[in-house]
Structure 1
Amino acid sequence: MDYMTISEAAKKWNLGPRRIQALCASGRISGVERLGRSWAIPKDAQKPVDARIKSGKYIGFSGKYHKRKENFINLESSDC
């Protein structure tokens, strides 16, 4: 099996080398192997899917922030 380095994967996937290292460490790249201090990434490995939240709905976000903001606005408007 052929492998590529961190820098080769970074160029191929248009990501930074540090981001590739983090993806390897978290197990997000399939077939990756640790060889001493470096990573061996299979040449046929696919770029991991972007796991950022794009819907605007954050998991575990409570309405406390909005309640505080509403109370603050109400306090400001009552002072005038």
Structure 2
Amino acid sequence: MTIIERAKAPTPKFFRVLRNVGLALAAAGGALLAAPISLPVGIVALGGYLTVGGTVLTAVSQVTVEDSAKADRKDG
């Protein structure tokens, strides 16, 4: 199963929720990094960690597929 096929296959409900949480974390981190005011170094670092963590969580959750989708691919 290729990455493209995995991304198009149905995602389990739990991982859809995790994907949305990851998107929210990445957006919050991006907002902290792009803030037009001067923020303390710790908060800017936190923004970077949130962005990376949210992006990884979103990517992993998107390519997780249900067992039935994998079984259909092996049979066909």
Decide: shared fold, TM above 0.5. Answer: no
Structure ranking higher on relative contact order (CA contacts 8 Å, 6+ apart): 2
TM-score (norm 1): 0.28
Higher percent of residues as strand: 1
Rg bigger for which structure?
A: 1
Q: Which has the higher helix share?
A: 2
TM-score of the aligned structures, taking structure 2 as reference length: 0.29
